[in-house]
Structure 1
């Protein structure tokens, strides 16, 4: 990680112990990509960090889609309940009128 401080780059130095197999894989990958080991490790960490953040964003978006679907379902249910209520009120009104119990308007 580097920050600009008084026009100069400030970098944090940090030692890492790697198993020999992983060390060799980083060397191979760095050579293939024309980078130093340090640059390759930074690139790899940046990619992984981005992947983790992208995965989290995907999970959040999926939850949002599910909530939207639930809201539509609930709204549709409420519309259906309101329609059933109106149908019952209409039927009650018609039956009361047929029986001569109509309410004054």
Structure 2
């Protein structure tokens, strides 16, 4: 985990940051994104069948990657950039409004 104060807009950085903040507390907005992605994944029969063919560790890694990719995709639809400040992750809208996505206790 490497969380530092920064502003970014690229998807790879967003996925890495989501992974790091996944140990923290999701805001109601982020909880909704997580639930939407979970429902989408659960309803994907082809993916479910594929995951059953993998060993447990590989299946968990693939599932985590897919979850992060889909969360990042949904967030990029709502926000133009993202910022980490004081152990909190924010989505920034086109008009500059910051919305809390995650907060984490780094103690």
Per the normalisation by structure 1, the TM-score is 0.28
Per the normalisation by structure 2, the TM-score is 0.27
Which of the pair has more CA radius of gyration? 1
Structure with the higher helix share, 1 or 2: 1
Structure with the higher strand share, 1 or 2: 2
